[in-house]
Amino acid sequence: MQKIAPCLWFDGNAEEAADFYTSVFPASRIATTLHYTDAGPGPEGKVVAIVFELEGQEFMALNGGPQYPFTPAISLFVHCDSQEDVDRYWSKLLEGGGKPWACGWLRDRFGVSWQIVPNVLTDMLRDPDRKKASRVMATMMKMVKLDIAPLEAAYRGE
């Protein structure tokens, strides 16, 4: 068990969200499902929370109610090794009503914000040659879903 794990607050659909997320990421699983008892505050037997793992990272999904909707102030960052990874996670997380945003960001059907980012982008942006990094940044800022080929072309100055 990791020392710190994010808890995501859902409006009654935590179980659906956990099932969806574990279907998107390999090496993922539902670890524990917790139900209300007769002590409340929800109906006895109803799911209150689910602990799940995505690629070894633990999360809790809580059926907390409508008081606190998700905002992009917190997002989940997905490291991608290839364009195929970017394409796969992008399309899967948009299933069922998600919305693409900008610069590799999207919001899934539950309102959770994700950043789907190829690892090579970070490498290019860290380059000590600030002109290269600036060209890459300018190219990225025009994208919705990130596309490695134009980013690499910008890096090379093409």
Same domain, yes or no, for 49 and 84? no
pTM beyond 0.85: the answer is yes
Same domain, yes or no, for 83 and 17? no
Same domain, yes or no, for 79 and 143? yes
Give DSSP secondary structure letters for 72-90. Answer: TTSEEEEEESSHHHHHHHH
Among candidate residues 25, 51, 68, the one where a domain is terminated? 68
Question: pLDDT truncated to tens, each residue of the chain (158 aa)?
Answer: 789 999 999 999 999 999 999 999 999 999 999 999 999 888 899 999 999 999 999 999 999 999 999 999 999 999 999 999 999 999 999 999 999 999 999 999 999 999 999 999 999 999 999 999 999 999 999 999 999 999 999 999 99
Same domain, yes or no, for 1 and 55? yes
Amino acid (1-letter code) at residue 127 = D
Q: The sheet that has 47-54: what strands, in order across it?
A: 7-10, 57-63, 47-54, 28-35
Same domain, yes or no, for 64 and 76? no
CATH number, domain with residue 43: 3.10.180.10
Domain residue limits at 60: 1-68
